[in-house]
Structure 1
Amino acid sequence: MTNELIFFLGFLLFIILMLAIDLGLFNKKDHEVSFKEASIMSTVWVLFALGFYVLLRFWGDKLHDIQDFAHLQEVTQKHLHNIKLIPSDFVASIEIYKKNLALEYVTGYVVEYALSVDNIFVMVLIFTSFGVPSKFYHRVLVWGIIGAILLRFLFIFLGASLISRFEWILYVFGVFLVYTGIMMFINRNEEEEIDPKNHKVVRFASRYFSVYPEFVGNHFFLKENGKKFVTPLFLVLLVIEFTDLIFAVDSIPAIFAVTKDPYIVFFSNIFAILGLRSMFFLLVNVIHKFHYLKVGLSFLLVFIGAKMLGHHWLEAWGFTTAHSLYIIIGILAVSVIASLMFPKKVEGE
């Protein structure tokens, strides 16, 4: 087995174990997740993500089993890492590589985590529109994450394969992200609505499944009088999965602007997705207060898209992964601070 495969399988085993513990031990009884519980869950996932940063910072060279300078140079060129190696000093070059790899991971994590906030707006809308009892939110989100991990795996490694063969795809991603950011800014004040009966996913599912007319506890499926049904809760799960698929179209190209190493893209993406569930419960009641966040995310996408389009010039000017991280954190900080300093006026006040 290669080191890459060992890293990957070990990571998947960890994720499966954590989700199994979550579903089996901490979620035996459906309940409404409290702010305190969500805070603890969020802290744990962030600590895990930071722990993985430490792992890459000190042992990142083990991922691709780099043994000599020639192999290090090959890996660096293959994944387009924006670093300057020292041919006469392999040890120093490895340190530069590990530091950059860990920085790419944490930058990708911050980007994905930030873009996930926009996903929370839509999730709240979905649960509200379908009338899902709040005690079932946790169950739907956990199973939704499992589906999201599978979808992201396919998207990321397919995208990495395409980029390695056709580097010009980076420019396509760049144009798409700039366009998406501009459209997000233009439509930032539009109120989103979801019609449960006429949603495209619901209409599609209704063609192939018998849908039970009401929620049946936390069940996704039901058998009655020998006939199998899917419950409305299963339809909500499908809508959540479809929504994540749409968001993945934005977020995955965005992380490829930070790093071209598919393993780093996958690790940062999945840690952010796992933290999304707890962040949902943390922000569900206060998300409306961050009304400038959409503006910040639109600028974030435009910046990442522009960076993708001009990466050759930026590298020549000495623009590094660290500079990207500073700008990304700055954009997010300004949007959050502006939201708190200038609260949205409520109609009638």
Structure 2
Amino acid sequence: MNVSTWVWLATLVALVAVLAVDLLIIGRRPHEPTMKEAGGWVAFYVALALLFGAGVWAVAGGRYAGEFYTGWLTEYSLSVDNLFVFVIIMGRFAVPRRFQQKVLLIGIVLALVMRGAFIAAGAALIAQFSWVFYIFGAFLVYTAVTLVKGGENDEDEFKENVLIRWAKRALPISSSFADGQFRVVTAAGKRLFTPMLIVMIAIGTTDLIFALDSIPAIFGITKEPYLVFTANVFALMGLRQLFFLLGGLLERLVYLNVGLAAVLAFIGVKLFLEALHTNSLPFINDGHGLHWAPEIPIWLSLLVILGTLGVATVASLAKSARDRKKDLVSADR
């Protein structure tokens, strides 16, 4: 897939324009969005991703469109897992609801910039060393095992990293969020940062940590840097509104980690098989590819990912419903 420089530039300009409009809306009227507003924005970004995929289909063909849709779905589902930690961060720092949109947007912008660097580095590694797929595959399988062993999401999933601890220690921080600004001036004329800065750093850096598994995962779907980047963009763009739309539903997705673990393990195995098929390591089959290793087609990957996430969601909601019934029965006794 050949993507010209002007297409890259047009994509980046469109991304900046959408983010600027978002930031302008939030900056002019900080508020907690209603379910209708959040749902409308989520539907808008999903429709935008679907239209973008249709455009890829029209220009580059069904193969690349399938890779985009599968990659976007994978990144979107992994991004939903981020929301659990975002809820914990908002609670840990007691962020007022009306300022949470701004924190999420700035954090997501920071994450997009850092993920862009990750994607560029990953693409360069893959172009130079095909054996890196062995490492990516093993890492994804390891992450899947860790997710299953870790069980449900809880506060242990968020730990303040070095950057957050340094910022809290080195920067003058006020005790108030003021009007949602990053800096305030006290009556004595002293300039202080507000906790908004710390929370924004927490959101951005935490999302970067999540990228350690999501970036290898999408490279298991497509090797095209443009599709990897745009799939990440569309997955993150609607994350802010999804945070408010799902709300309490997040707590009911008790089997989401199991579903995501299955998806990551599947992609990890897919990467390992692909690495075997295109092997260049001299100590494996004298540096020749193992042609018996099957290549998993993109349509099968899409079906497996959709099916796994669907089963995990239905099973989660069914378990939550059963638990609520048990609680009601217990309360009546």
When normalised by structure 2's length, the TM-score is: 0.87
Residues 181, 209 of structure 1: alpha-carbon distance in 2 compared, 3 angstrom cutoff:
same
Per the alignment, residue 169 of structure 2 pairs with 207
Runs (4+) of structure 1 exceeding 6 A deviation are none
Per the alignment, residue 291 of structure 1 pairs with 254
Residues 246, 172 of structure 1: alpha-carbon distance in 2 compared, 3 angstrom cutoff:
same
Deviations 1:235-289 (A, max 9, x none): 0111101101100111000000000111110011111010211111111221111
8 Å CA contact 1:257, 1:308 repeated in 2 = yes
Structure 1: which 5+ residue stretches go unaligned? Answer: 61-97
Per the alignment, residue 323 of structure 1 pairs with 300
Does residue 44 of structure 2 align to residue 51 of structure 1?
no
> Could you tell which deviates more after superposition, 255-264 or 337-346?
337-346
Deviations 1:275-305 (A, max 9, x none): 2111111112211111111110111111111
8 Å CA contact 2:85, 2:158 repeated in 1 = no
Number of aligned pairs?
310
Superposition RMSD on alpha carbons, in Å? 2.1
Structure 2: which 5+ residue stretches go unaligned? Answer: 278-289
What is the correspondence of 1:88-99 to structure 2 with a 5 Å cutoff?
98-99=61-62
Q: Deviation at 1:4?
A: 2.1
For residues 315 and 234 of structure 1, what CA distance do their matches in structure 2 show?
53
Per the alignment, residue 91 of structure 1 pairs with none
For residues 291 and 90 of structure 2, what CA distance do their matches in structure 1 show?
43
Per the alignment, residue 11 of structure 1 pairs with 11
8 Å CA contact 1:127, 1:236 repeated in 2 = yes
For residues 254 and 8 of structure 1, what CA distance do their matches in structure 2 show?
22
3-state SS of 2:238 partner: helix
For residues 153 and 114 of structure 2, what CA distance do their matches in structure 1 show?
29
What is the correspondence of 1:1-349 to structure 2 with a 5 Å cutoff?
4-25=4-25, 27-60=27-60, 98-189=61-152, 191-193=154-156, 200-224=162-186, 225-311=188-274, 312=277, 317=294, 319-343=296-320, 345=323, 349=330
Residues 23, 118 of structure 1: alpha-carbon distance in 2 compared, 3 angstrom cutoff:
same
8 Å CA contact 1:299, 1:331 repeated in 2 = yes
Per the alignment, residue 284 of structure 2 pairs with none
Deviations 1:59-110 (A, max 9, x none): 12xxxxxxxxxxxxxxxxxxxxxxxxxxxxxxxxxxxxx2101110110000
For residues 3 and 228 of structure 2, what CA distance do their matches in structure 1 show?
17
Residues 211, 169 of structure 1: alpha-carbon distance in 2 compared, 3 angstrom cutoff:
same
Residues 26, 215 of structure 1: alpha-carbon distance in 2 compared, 3 angstrom cutoff:
closer
8 Å CA contact 2:26, 2:102 repeated in 1 = no
Deviations 1:96-129 (A, max 9, x none): xx21011101100000000011100000011011
When normalised by structure 1's length, the TM-score is: 0.84
For residues 196 and 184 of structure 2, what CA distance do their matches in structure 1 show?
11
Q: Deviation at 1:345?
A: 2.7
For residues 309 and 101 of structure 1, what CA distance do their matches in structure 2 show?
21
8 Å CA contact 1:220, 1:234 repeated in 2 = yes
3-state SS of 2:28 partner: coil
Q: Deviation at 1:34?
A: 1.1
3-state SS of 1:45 partner: helix
